Amino acid sequence: MKTTRGPGQSVSRPITYGSYQYPNGQNGSKESEEKQRENGALLPKRVPDHLKSQSRTTRWLWILVAVSLFIALVFSATIVHLSSQGEGIKSEASDILFDYIVVGGGPSGIIVASKLARKFPSLKVLLLESGTDSQASVLQATAGDSKSSSFAFEGFVDGDDAATLNSFDVPLLWSGLAGTRRGQWPFPPVMNVSDFPWHGHRWPIEKTLLARALGGCGLHNAMLYVRALPSDFDLWNVSGWSYEHMVKHYKELETFKDDGPIPPFWSNTTDSNDSHRGESGPIMTIPAGYGVDAVAPLFVESALQAGFPLASRGFNSGGAHGRSGVGYYEFNIRDGVRDSVARAFLAGKSKPKNLIVQTGATVTRVLMDAQRKGPRAYGVEYMTNNGRRIGRYALRDRERAEIILAAGAIMSPQLLVNSGIGPDGSVVQLEGVGKNLQDHPVVGISFEMNPELMLDSSSVYTIGDELEDYLQTVSELRALRLMDINLTSTQRNPLNQRLGTLGTSGFSAGGFLTSPWAVDNVPDIQLTVFPRQIEPHITQHRNYQETGRLRSRILLVTVALLSPEARFVITPGKVPATVNTTDQKDQSVRTFSNSSGTPVARIKKLKLPYIDIPPDRKQYLTSGDTQRLVWGLQQVRKIHETAPMSMHTGDEVYPGSHVSDEALVQYVHENALTNSHFVGTSRMGTAKQQDAVVDQRLRVIGVRGLRVVDGGVIPTVPNGNTHSTIAVVASHGADLIANDRIDKEG
Ligand SMILES: Cc1cc2nc3c(=O)[nH]c(=O)nc-3n(C[C@H](O)[C@H](O)[C@H](O)COP(=O)(O)OP(=O)(O)OC[C@H]3O[C@@H](n4cnc5c(N)ncnc54)[C@H](O)[C@@H]3O)c2cc1C
């Protein structure tokens, strides 16, 4: 804290690099010098003799004052330096001031930062991301920026996406990447799931998949494009956030291209809701088309035979009614490459020149001034990935400049608490911080495939399997090395074998079913059909040692609850007083790999949050939640027993046919997983609502100059995968921020 500005001290001074600042705005020109001389403000050029000795004495006096000031400055600088050395790190304050500092380079952060930078080309916007991985074209475009101290305001490399790809670009590799720890927060890897049983009130966070990369979870997600339903926004019940306000953003962000091959059962009939689709937005959305896998049409036809309706236009048309039933998903893929928010907004020439992207910078807290008008955010403190350097970035002014937290629903609450904002906050007490965490709890059910289906469904995956196994194994081996775990040759052999020898997501069909307990006939169960066991939340939970070859023998259907009563609470890790420990026993000391996969950087005293069950609850799921998930599993069994699926598949692998319908309750309790669709922990509302953290303009209640714009602000989890809805929240949030500046500037 020693190098930060004191309360009330202005940050709006211009940066001066040694040039003299003339008082009253005078510019030092010859003309103004003459004027001042006439007014007696400057000494005449020639000094009369009788004044010379007086002038000499004055000069000596000035020299004495200057030397004393210099000594005082050196002394205080030494004190500051020594105290920061005492913390085991170097502390430095940046002399570059920003108009907006956005924390977190996930989909929400990238959209907010890019939109603000584009809207105000003369302002400086900084995007800080903890991770260093990204898609190849994004890394190229931001390469100059990330050399932390030398900021590249221009001269980025034009991305040639076709020429440069890395594994994050290849759609099929999503599950392999998400299933490994690459580009993720450094939770320890799970070697054997039985070592990490579901223990009562605390979710084993090491099983939570959470990206730490430029692009956030949009870098390793399944690219499924599912919008929220109009009724979801009604449930949010926040003024200015109705479906009518938000549909504009869905349209603005997407280019919907419906010109691929027509999947079986796909209806050609256009309906009126097609006017809700975007035609020229930065992110491509395509129907499954080319990517329809061998299992998908079997599943869809069996479900139709079993009496479920057909969602003939990909789940995003016609509101709740159009979504109900089985059909094919849409994906964010462009020409066979992941079309993430990162790629759409940062690659090539898309990145605005006044947007500076710094990766490898983990923000530890927001710096705040206590002012007469209440606390005001004026900067952030961050540490570099090796944990040895702390830096600070400050805002240019305290009227219009702002800090925007977009670190995601899990990490933003930790940052708020680190900054003194939370239930026991020293700066502002906000009960709702970290509460109300929602997700789509998910369970899996799997079946053997007959040999001919297995061949059909797995042949396209051969290369993918090998690469996936390879990446996962390399990552596991590195993690073991970092943890100093030595395997015996018997333990190591299977890993070595997996080291041996790419544009769809690898699955295409799904369904939105309406259980008997659904409210207003809005679907409450989502099915996703994987032609082999690739869903990373499930594979993490199952036997971690199953190889791709084994996984390709079984198909998997995930059953997710769309409107859960279940809630989690984020318990922030203990707030670090300083960043100073080398205590190996300290659980907060985590190891991880850098962007090129090179070990071993250490984040010291990085306090990661925990995901807990609210204290007043005994179980994560309520009995109503369990009942609906059990019903979902039963519907999958029914579809599996119906032709043509029944003719091409074998036994149920898990839960297994021996698990009766009654016993499914227990199965759900023991196997319900998080789905990484986290929302709700900084929920928006009015200041009068006890759990509200931000108001309807996404300003943190009680603090000036600080907003949260990420999945956390969404009050109730939407009806479907969260990415597209978090993107529109960010797009709308950016507009609110921009409009507030315009209003202030009159
Ligand atoms: C495996 C997986 C599959 C998924 N599949 C789909 C799908 O197919 N379709 C869909 O719609 N949704 C999917 N999702 C969910 C979707 O990707 C997320 O809802 C969305 O990415 C959340 O966006 P966000 O910006 O709120 O947070 P995030 O994506 O989590 O981004 C937050 C960013 O902030 C950074 N950050 C955090 N703390 C700090 C700090 N202190 N300092 C600096 N940076 C920080 C993080 O590193 C991260 O990059 C999936 C998620 C996962 C994990």
pLDDT 10s digits, 688-713 = 888 999 999 999 999 999 999 999 99
Question: Who has greater pLDDT, 473 or 733?
Answer: 733
Peptide bond just before 655 cis, omega within 30 deg: yes
Give yes or no for residue 338 CB within 6 A of ligand 1: no
The residue whose CB lies within 8 Å of the most ligand 1 atoms, and thus the one to mutate among 217, 595, 684, is 217
Ligand 1 contact via 130 beta carbon (within 6 Å): yes
- Closest ligand 1 atom to residue 362 Cα is 42
How far does residue 564's CA lie from ligand 1's centre (Å)? 20
Whole-angstrom Cα distance, residue 458 to residue 553? 8
**Quick one: average pLDDT of 373-378?**
93
pLDDT beyond 50 at 222: yes
- What separation in Å is there between the alpha carbon of 318 and the centre of ligand 1? 28
**Which are the contacts of 686, defined by CB distance < 8 A and separation ≥ 6?**
692, 695, 696
Smallest CA-to-CA distance from 668 within 632, 631, 626 is with 626
Contact 445, 428 (CB under 8 A): no
Tell me which amino acid residue 470 is: Y
CB-ligand 1 contact for 473 (6 Å cutoff): no
Alpha-carbon gap, residue 253 to 110, rounded angstroms: 13
Q: What's the gap in Å between 214 CA and the centre of ligand 1?
A: 10
Mean pLDDT for 720-737 is 98
Instruction: Give the closest residue to 587 by CA, choosing from 575, 604, 612, 569.
Output: 604
**Residue 25 reports pLDDT greater than 50:** no
Beta strands in 597-681 (DSSP E): 601-603, 610-612, 649-654
Q: Among 39-43, 153-157, 460-464, 722-726, which stretch is predicted with the lowest mean pLDDT?
A: 153-157
Residue reference for tokens 């003719």: 647
Q: Averaging pLDDT over each range in 40-44, 306-310, 391-395, 665-669, which range is the top one? A: 306-310
Contact, 352 vs 122, CB < 8 A? no
Looking at residue 126, its pLDDT comes to 96
Tokens of 510: 């799904």
218 lines ligand 1 (CB under 6 A): yes
pLDDT at residue 240 greater than cutoff 90: yes
**Cβ burial 350-378 (10 Å sphere, 16+ → b, else e):** bbbebbbbbbbbbbbbbbbbeeeeebbbb
Q: Using 50, 70 and 90 to split pLDDT, how confident is the model at 501? A: very low
State how far the Cα of 117 lies from the Cα of 355, in Å rounded to an integer. Answer: 6
Using 50, 70 and 90 to split pLDDT, how confident is the model at 738?
A: very high
Which atom number of ligand 1 is nearest to the Cα of residue 110? Answer: 25
Look at 302-306, 444-448, 462-466, 676-680 and tell me which has the smallest mean pLDDT: 462-466
Structure tokens at 732: 């709308």
- The DSSP call for residue 117 is H
- Which of the two residues, 348 and 647, has the higher pLDDT score? 647
Asked if pLDDT for residue 335 goes beyond 90, the answer is no
Is there a contact between 256 and 277 (Cβ–Cβ < 8 Å)?
yes
Compute, in angstroms, the gap from residue 721 CA to the centroid of ligand 1.
Answer: 12
Protein residue with least CA distance to atom 1, ligand 1:
221
* CA 52 to centroid of ligand 1, rounded, Å: 72
**Which structure tokens are listed for 702?**
């009680």
For residue 193, the model assigns a pLDDT of: 32
Ligand 1 centroid to residue 408 C-alpha, Å: 6
The finding on whether 677 has its CB within 6 A of some atom of ligand 1 is: yes
**How far is it, in rounded angstroms, from Cα 526 to Cα 148?**
43
Least-confidence region, from 27-36, 263-272, 445-454, 540-549: 27-36
Nearest-atom index, ligand 1, CA of 722: 11
Peptide bond into 644 cis (omega under 30): yes
Query: Minimum mean pLDDT among 28-32, 726-730, 731-735: which range?
Result: 28-32
Helix then strand then coil, in percent of the chain rounded to 5, is 35, 20, 45
Of 9-23, 44-58, 160-174, 253-267, the least confident = 9-23
Higher pLDDT, 502 or 184: 184
At 401 the pLDDT is 97
Distances (CA, A) of 480 to 185, 354, 474, 492: 16, 42, 10, 11
222-231, 511-520, 579-588, range with the lowest pLDDT: 579-588
Distances (CA, A) of 211 to 104, 174, 185, 580: 11, 12, 6, 25
d(CA 733, CA 730): 5
Average pLDDT over residues 106-121: 98
C-beta separation of 329 from 226 below 8 A: yes
Single-letter amino acid code for the residue at 543: N
d(CA 93, CA 103): 17
Query: Which of 154-168, 183-197, 310-324 is predicted most confidently?
Result: 310-324
Ligand 1 within 6 A of CB of 221: yes
- Higher local confidence (pLDDT), 466 or 219: 219
Q: Given a cut of 90, is residue 547 above it in pLDDT? A: no
CA distances to 1, 395, 658 from 367, rounded to whole Å, are: 9, 10, 58
The token duo for 651 is: 């036994």
- C-beta 726 within 6 A of ligand 1: yes
Find the radius of gyration of the CA atoms of the chain. 29
pLDDT of residue 371: 76
Which residue has a Cα nearest atom 5 of ligand 1? 221
- What per-residue confidence (pLDDT) applies to 600? 29
pLDDT band of 93, cuts 50, 70, 90: very low
CA of 734 to the centre of ligand 1 (A): 18
Per-residue confidence (pLDDT) for residue 593, from 0 to 100? 33
CA-proximal residue: ligand 1, atom 50 (nearest): 221
Question: Which of 444 and 463 is assigned the larger pLDDT?
Answer: 444
Mean pLDDT, rounded, for 232-256: 96
Q: What letter does residue 663 receive in the DSSP assignment?
A: T
3-state secondary structure of 527: strand
**The pLDDT value given to residue 181:** 67
Most ligand 1 atoms within 8 A of CB, residue of 221, 381, 674 to mutate: 221
Going by CA atoms, what residue is nearest to atom 12 of ligand 1? 723
556 lines ligand 1 (CB under 6 A): no
Spatial separation of the C-alpha atoms in residues 471 and 172, rounded to whole Å: 13
pTM, two decimals, is 0.80
Averaged pLDDT for residues 338-346: 96
Mean pLDDT of 134-152: 65
Contact 443, 542 (CB under 8 A): no
Q: What integer best gives the mean pLDDT of the chain?
A: 77
- Give CA–CA dist 258/560, Å, rounded: 27
Instruction: Establish whether residue 223 lines the binding site of ligand 1, counting it when its CB lies within 6 angstroms of any ligand atom.
Output: yes
Of 48-62, 92-106, 291-305, 462-476, the range with the lowest mean pLDDT is 48-62
Q: Is the pLDDT of residue 580 over 50?
A: no
CA pair distance 350, 357, nearest whole angstrom:
13
Greatest mean pLDDT range, 10-24, 362-376, 514-528, 660-674: 514-528
What's the average model confidence in pLDDT over 638-660?
95
Ligand 1 atom closest to the CA of 174, numbered from 1:
1
Q: Look at residue 95 in the predicted model and tell me its pLDDT.
A: 57
User: Which stretch, 92-106, 497-511, 720-734, has highest mean pLDDT?
Assistant: 720-734
Which residue has its alpha carbon closest to ligand 1 atom 16? 723
pLDDT score, position 239: 95
Q: Which of 286, 333, 723, 725 is the best mutation target for the ligand 1 pocket, counting ligand atoms within 8 Å of the beta carbon and taking the most?
A: 723
For residue 604, the cross-strand partners are none
Mean pLDDT for 338-352 is 94
**Confidence band for 519, pLDDT divided at 50, 70 and 90:** very high
Annotate 704-743 with DSSP letters as a single string. BSEEE-SGGG-SS--SS-SHHHHHHHHHHHHHHHHHHHHH
Ligand 1 atom showing the smallest separation from residue 216 Cα: 49
State if residue 719 touches ligand 1 by the CB under 6 angstroms criterion: no
Span from the CA of 532 to the centroid of ligand 1 (angstroms) = 24
Q: How far, CA to CA in Å, does 504 sit from each of 277, 291, 332, 465?
A: 22, 5, 10, 14
Q: Are 404 and 734 in contact (CB under 8 A)?
A: no
Ligand 1 proximity of 407 Cβ (cutoff 6 Å): yes
Are 161 and 415 within 8 A, CB to CB? no
Q: How does strand 90-98 pair with strand 389-395? A: parallel
Position 708: which residue type?
V
CA dihedral 607, 609, 610, 616 (to 10 degrees): 120
Comparing C-alpha atoms, which of 101, 220, 238 is closest to residue 172? 220
Highest mean pLDDT among 155-159, 209-213, 487-491: 209-213
Residue located via tokens 């890993």: 495
Beta-strand runs (E) in 233-338: 254-256, 283-287, 325-328, 330-331, 333-334, 337-338
Give the C-alpha separation, 529 to 552, whole Å: 13
Q: Is the CB of 138 under 6 A from ligand 1?
A: no
Q: What's the rounded Cα separation, in Å, for the pair 319 and 330? A: 16
Cβ atoms within 10 A of the Cβ of 585, count?
6
- Residue range 208-234: mean pLDDT, rounded: 94
Q: How far is the CA of 380 from the centre of ligand 1 (A)?
A: 21
Give the nearest ligand 1 atom to 720 CA.
Answer: 11
Q: Which atom of ligand 1 is nearest to the CA of 505?
A: 8
DSSP state letter for 348? G
Helix (H) or strand (E) holding 495: helix 489-499
**Does residue 411's CB lie within 6 angstroms of at least one atom of ligand 1?**
yes
Band (pLDDT 50/70/90 cuts) for residue 502 is low
Residue 187 binned pLDDT confidence (cut-offs 50, 70, 90): low
Higher pLDDT, 628 or 462: 628
Q: Say how many Å lie between the CA of residue 601 and the centre of ligand 1.
A: 22
d(CA 430, CA 423): 5
Say whether pLDDT at 186 is over 70: no
**pLDDT at residue 721 above 90?**
yes
Model pLDDT, residue 143: 80
Summarize pLDDT for 606-647 with one digit per residue, the tens: 567 878 877 777 777 899 999 999 999 999 999 999 999 999
The finding on whether 375 has its CB within 6 A of some atom of ligand 1 is no
Q: What's the CA-to-centroid distance between 304 and ligand 1, angstroms? A: 34
Most confident of 60-64, 264-268, 503-507: 503-507
Mapped to the 3 state alphabet, what secondary structure does 389-402 carry? EEEEEEECCCCCCE
Measured from the CB, is residue 566 less than 6 Å from ligand 1? no
At residue 470, does pLDDT exceed 50?
yes
Looking at the predicted structure, is the pLDDT value of residue 524 above 90?
yes
Secondary structure (H, E, C), 556-587 = EEEEEECCCCCCEEEECCCCCCCCCCCCCCCC
Kindly tell me if the per-residue pLDDT of 650 is higher than 70: yes
* CA–centroid distance, residue 217 to ligand 1 (Å): 3
**Mean of pLDDT values over 97-125:** 97
Omega prior to 460 cis, within 30 of 0: no
Which range, 108-112, 165-169, 321-325, has the best average confidence (pLDDT)?
108-112
pLDDT at 285 over 50: yes
Cα of 221 vs centre of ligand 1, distance in Å, is 8
